Amino acid sequence: QVQLVESGGGLVQPGGSLRLSCVASGRAISTYTMGWFRQAPGKEREFVSAIGWNGASIHYADSVKGRFTISRDDSKNTVYLQMNSLRPEDTAVFYCAMTRAGARTLAIGTARPEFWGQGTQVTVSS
């Protein structure tokens, strides 16, 4: 059974930084695309970022380009999301996702994750 567990969320002031982590268990992530999605109150879940199985294919939502960085450490079965220059509109529950589909198909929405984490809250407020 695959389990994804996110951590690193919290309350941060505008302009601040957070680093989210997602640890997978039950299956090695090395052959999977890993991604991050988020859902703000009253809104649909949206794509944030994805990284292909070998790290060569990386995609970001336009709203986070230049501010967020996704990375993976297959030896730790973990994917990260470094979030800098955070804005109030980044406030959301962030979810980790895992799929055998390509990173681009996850980014454009033609593929859906096979596995989801339970989410971690990120609140950006002064």
User: What is the reported pLDDT for 64?
Assistant: 98
Contact of 97 with 36, CB cutoff 8 Å: yes
User: What is the reported pLDDT for 100?
Assistant: 95
Give the integer Cα–Cα distance in Å for 73 and 75: 5
Give the integer Cα–Cα distance in Å for 112 and 33: 11
User: What is the reported pLDDT for 42?
Assistant: 95
Query: 62-105 pLDDT, tens per residue?
Result: 999 999 999 999 999 999 999 999 999 999 999 999 999 999 99
